[in-house]
Amino acid sequence: MNVNHSDRTAITAAAARIAGHVRETPVFALPPEALGLPAGAPLLLKLEHLQVSGSFKARGAFNSLLAAPVPGAGVIAASGGNHGAAVAAAARTLGVPAEIFVPEITGAAKRARIAALGARLVIGGATYDEARQASEARAAETGARLIHAYDQPAVLAGQGTLAPEIERQAPGLTHLLVAVGGGGLIGGIAGWGGATRLVAVEPEGCPALHLALAAGRPVAAPVGGVAADSLGARQIGALGFAAAQAQGIESVLVPDAAITEARRRLWDACRLAVEPGGATALAALVCGAFQPPAGARVGVLVCGANTDALV
């Protein structure tokens, strides 16, 4: 990948800013056979589901709140669940008010997580888009700062701190599989550059990046399936799309059955309890949507665990 020095500067600054507030999550190596995959080089799982608030979203949330003064009215976010929990956690830690708008599809576990972190929880409509619109109206009314789930530079820079962390922990990684919803995670990581090839993995029911790459621009996408609450963006974010397009990132699609199976295998083999979105990247290996080339050293980003149980 080409290196964007301005993005690297922003990511380096974000890493320094959020240090002490987020965790350096571990990398776990295991033989692919342990997960029912063809024999080969050890598979590296980046266990970001162990992050503060239960997902990678804490990185972007803390960076956004720390990068500029927060108004007295606090912060507002719209979220399928994970971004909301992250903003709530960061706001509680930093002592500022937070109001989180979620759609009706957000599960009980994620709603409870947000409320337990001290934020005011609002059901903002049937879909994420409706919750986002409600959050924007509320921010305009109160003067609170709106923290976008995936399409703000500070949020992307925070998510991008995963890139140098993985680089240190897993030198020589050739491919990294990353689940994609609105594009903030893969866009942030892509901004770092480096030699590792990023592979976007999307559910068949939420193909926002896949459709955008085919069209050459962000376009409306369907939202459905088992991972819709975390990966169900109606349209890929402009920043994430630009980064993916510039880096030539490919997107592969996986069916719900592969996501459910990947989730089960993570539990059976490693006792890792993750949400469907957190298992989506592994699903590309489970169903063969991504087949590693000879000699590849593959990493899988396990990105979220805001779930009650495996069902």
Structure tokens at 278: 């957190």
Vertex 286 angle, CA 285 and 291, to 5°: 30
Contact between residue 300 and residue 285 where contact means Cβ atoms under 8 Å apart? yes
**What is d(CA 105, CA 102) in angstroms, rounded to the nearest whole number?**
8
Contact between residue 155 and residue 60 where contact means Cβ atoms under 8 Å apart? yes
Q: Write phi, then psi, for 71 (nearest 5 degrees).
A: -65, 165
Entry pTM: 0.94
**Buried b or exposed e, range 212-225, using 16+ CB within 10 angstroms:** bbeeeebeebebeb
At 196, which amino acid appears?
A: T
Q: Where do runs of H (alpha helix) occur along 39-127?
A: 57-67, 82-94, 108-116
Contact between residue 71 and residue 143 where contact means Cβ atoms under 8 Å apart? yes
How far is CA 171 from each of CA 12, 75, 158, 163, rounded to the nearest angstrom? 18, 37, 21, 11
Contact between residue 200 and residue 245 where contact means Cβ atoms under 8 Å apart? no
Per-residue pLDDT of the chain (311 residues; tens, 9 = 90+): 455 667 999 999 999 999 999 999 999 999 999 999 999 999 999 999 999 999 999 999 999 999 999 999 999 999 988 999 999 999 999 999 999 999 998 888 889 999 999 999 999 998 888 999 999 999 999 999 999 999 999 999 999 999 999 999 999 999 999 999 999 999 999 999 999 999 999 999 999 999 999 999 999 999 999 999 899 899 999 999 999 999 999 999 999 999 999 999 999 999 999 999 999 999 999 999 999 999 999 999 999 998 876 54
CA nearest neighbour of 239 among 151, 157, 149: 151
Structure tokens at 46: 């980046």
DSSP type of residue 96? -
Length of the chain: 311
**Buried b or exposed e, range 102-129, using 16+ CB within 10 angstroms:** bbebbbebbbebbeebebebbebbebbb
How many CB atoms sit inside 10 A of residue 33's CB?
12
All domains of the chain, ordered by start, with CATH? 5-55+154-302 (3.40.50.1100), 57-146 (3.40.50.1100)
DSSP string across 123-189 = E--SSHHHHHHHHHHHHHHH-PEE--SS-SHHHHHHHHTHHHHHHHHSTT--EEEEE-SSSHHHHHH
